[in-house]
Structure 1
Amino acid sequence: MSDKFNKSKRGHVNLGKNSGTEVEATLSPIGITLTGEALGMIRMEDLKIELQLKDGTKMSALTGFIQLHNDLVKWISSKTIRVEDVSNLVINGQKVNLEE
């Protein structure tokens, strides 16, 4: 398998009004993993994720989340994500600064 399919990017986002609601987001070719104590306070129905690609297209993750624990949520994409083609990740309106 090519190295481009093994890459992932990580970033942090604050999903609330206080400092205790920081969530780590990991973007991989199969989807997004969110970790953080703040996830226990967010209803899955209220979680909105958008991937903005370099070509101007967008992928929205509005449903299909799996909450494995209070502090771990996964979203599996219906198609492979080319991580290097993602320019922005937006969670509930908040831009996540992604780093390799």
Structure 2
Amino acid sequence: GCGLELFSSSTKFDSGTGWPSFWAPLHNAVAEDRDTTLGMLRVEAHCRRCGGHLGHVFDDGPRPTGLRYCMNGVAMNFVAAEEETRVRIPNRT
């Protein structure tokens, strides 16, 4: 991982899935690709800078986007910022 900030706590919500869920990433932080593994079509979310796999995006989230970025909590660090919590992909050295 590269340590890029990915999500803000202001977009986090309880999806009832047990996975950290957000309705939007930070601007220009997350890239998406088609994922056809496991015999289904999903949208994979990954760090736009280093390509680290973060989780998947589904269209059953809350307003205003209607999206649920269902993230792998092990793939991220939760870091307190001045006024809110920011989520980063961990630095791997």
Specify if TM > 0.5.
no
Higher helix share goes to which structure? 1
Q: Which has the higher strand share?
A: 1
The two structures have a TM-score, normalised by structure 2, of 0.29
